[in-house]
Amino acid sequence: MRNRLIFLFILVVTFIAIAIIGSRFVNQSPADVPVNNNLQFVESEPVETETTEINNDAVKKQIDRLDPTAIPLGDGKVSNSPKVGYVFSCQTNFRQTSNLHGGEWIEGDTWDSTQKLYVLGSVAWPTASFSTSLQNVSRTLTGNGLPISHTTGIFPIKRTDPAWQYDRNPNPITATEFRYSIPAKPVLAREASCVPMGIVGYTLNGVALYNALDDAGLDAAAHEVQDTCDGHPQMAGQYHYHGPSDCISDINQNNKLIGYALDGFGIYSRYDADGVEYTNADLDACHGITSEIEWDGEVVEMYHYVMTREYPYTIGCFRGTPIQTRAER
């Protein structure tokens, strides 16, 4: 009898102990519960991988083929006939070169766009205007030559500006009213023609586009000191570009219209439809190509120019028949 009582007592104590331990485990907080860190990492890994893949895809949408620290210099690449990588210039006599218009960013046969000086200042132009309109077979460009989408540097260049030691541009920026009618449906001419030292086209932000040469016949984008939007005025005050500017709307997009040449053909952004940067190897002697583009709301295959980071940057010659501007008359 005594042994049976002892057994029952031990049994009761055991049940009570089990109940207490079970209760503590059930009421344990999540922070106290042991976690398998390896399993937790495996569960979150797919999310991280997916994000990484998305980011990689975004990067792959555009492929740069030129090194901005070693852009090929265009000095001496002036021809008297169409030639890939050259400017077929109507003007063949240029001023004698000097020590100006050349800085430490030019070395040998390349120049470093990341080290080039820029003219200081940020001047707004609230009266800037530009518009285009279609009328039968003509496209009319109207504006005052001031940039509608960005500010400019301070011109004339001040003596206190570090750019003064390389470029002493004495010209102020002034409004230059224009109204030009170019072909709305341009056609290729029998032969390519030379480009003037003045206007070769207009960008969609209302700024005149010149060829790649300065008045010494050298690579203007490399030698002349422009503002942070890669523009500056000439002697009559007309603000203009010689090459690509990140301030031009859509210039860094894929296959986008960014302006018109004086022969009516479009000027397009520096990446093709697949996001690959254009170089001279892809383009003809006039710096153009025939491919599928959006033109006046329709997708068509037609000839067009491309603005690139490689000289001659904009238009090497005209493939159509250009109109004459006031400066040429």
Q: What is the DSSP string of 115-132?
A: T---B---B--TT--EEE
Which residue(s) pair with 294 in the sheet? 299
Tell me which of 14 and 285 has the higher pLDDT: 285
Say if residue 36's pLDDT is above 50. no
How far is residue 221's CA from residue 77's CA, in Å, rounded to a whole number?
A: 13
Range name among 52-66, 104-118, 314-328 with the lowest pLDDT average: 52-66
Cis peptide preceding 312, ω within 30 of 0: yes
Tell me which of 285 and 32 has the higher pLDDT: 285
Residue appearing with tokens 């997009």: 253
Q: Is 54 helix (H, G, I), strand (E, B) or coil?
A: helix
Residue appearing with tokens 């852009």: 71
- Residue 25: which pLDDT band, with cuts at 50, 70 and 90? very low
287, 308 Cβ separation under 8 angstroms: yes
Mean pLDDT of 223-227: 96
Q: Measuring CA to CA, which residue among 79, 16, 61 is closest to residue 287?
A: 79
Say if residue 39's pLDDT is above 70. no
Mean pLDDT of 54-75: 78
pTM over 0.95: no
pLDDT at 100: 59
Mean pLDDT of 121-138: 96
DSSP string, 31-48: GGS---HHHHHHHHHHHH
Cis peptide preceding 156, ω within 30 of 0: yes
pLDDT at 96: 75
Say if residue 12's pLDDT is above 80. no
pLDDT at 40: 35
132, 139 Cβ separation under 8 angstroms: yes
pLDDT at 97: 65
Say if residue 185's pLDDT is above 50. yes
Say if residue 177's pLDDT is above 80. yes
- Residue 324: which pLDDT band, with cuts at 50, 70 and 90? confident
pLDDT at 42: 32
The whole-chain average pLDDT of the chain stands at 85
287-299 confidence digits (pLDDT tens): 999 999 999 999 9
- Residue 8: which pLDDT band, with cuts at 50, 70 and 90? very low
Range name among 60-69, 215-224, 261-270 with the lowest pLDDT average: 60-69
pLDDT at 197: 93
DSSP string, 110-174: EE-TTT---B---B--TT--EEEEEETTEEEEEE-SS-SS--B--SSPPTTSGGGGT----PPP-
pLDDT at 32: 38
Instruction: Domain ranges for the chain, please list them.
Output: 2-60, 67-329
Strand intervals (E) in the chain: 71-72, 78-79, 87-88, 106-107, 110-111, 130-135, 138-143, 178-183, 199-203, 208-210, 231-233, 239-241, 257-261, 266-268, 288-295, 298-306
Say if residue 325's pLDDT is above 90. no
245, 231 Cβ separation under 8 angstroms: yes
247, 229 Cβ separation under 8 angstroms: yes
Residue appearing with tokens 């030691």: 165
245, 232 Cβ separation under 8 angstroms: no
